Structure 1
Amino acid sequence: MWHMTRNPFVVDVLQLPKEVQEKFLEMKADSSMKDDFHLLTLEQFWIKRLPVNSKLASLALRVLVRFSSTYLCETSFSALVLIKTKQRTRLDVDSDLTIDMTKTEPRINQLVLNTQSQVSH
Structure 2
Amino acid sequence: MFQDDVFEELVQYLTSMRAFFGKYFPEEQNTKMKLNSWIHNPFLPNLQKPESMSNEIYESLLEMSSDTSMESLFKTTPINDFWCRIRDEYPMLGRMALNILLPFPTTYLCETGFSTYAAT
Structure 1 length-normalised TM: 0.51
Shift of 1:43: 0.7
CA contact (8 A) 1:46 1:57 kept: yes
Q: 1:30 aligns with which of 42, 47, 67?
A: 67
Q: 1:18 aligns with which of 51, 55, 58?
A: 55
Residues in 2 aligned to 1:13 and 1:59: alpha-carbon distance in whole angstroms: 16
Residues in 2 aligned to 1:19 and 1:43: alpha-carbon distance in whole angstroms: 22
Encode CA deviations 1:27-69: one digit per residue, 9 max, x unaligned: 0110011110110000110001101111000000011111699
Name the structure 2 match of 1:3. Answer: 37
Moved over 2 A (4+): 13-17, 67-70
Name the structure 1 match of 2:81. Answer: 44
In percent, how many aligned pairs have the same letter?
29
Higher helix residue share: 2
Q: Write out aligned runs for 1:56-67 (5 A).
A: 56-66=93-103
Helix, strand or coil at the partner of 1:38: helix
Seen in structure 2, the aligned counterparts of structure 1 residues 7 and 68 have a Cα distance that, compared at 3 Å, is closer
Q: Gaps (5+ residues) in structure 1?
A: 71-121
Tell me: higher relative CO, structure 1 or 2? Use CA pairs within 8 A at least 6 residues apart. Answer: 1
Number of residue pairs the alignment of both structures matches: 70
Seen in structure 2, the aligned counterparts of structure 1 residues 64 and 27 have a Cα distance that, compared at 3 Å, is same
Pairwise CA RMSD: 2.3
Structure possessing the higher radius of gyration over alpha carbons: 1
Q: Gaps (5+ residues) in structure 2?
A: 1-34, 108-120
Residues in 2 aligned to 1:13 and 1:4: alpha-carbon distance in whole angstroms: 8
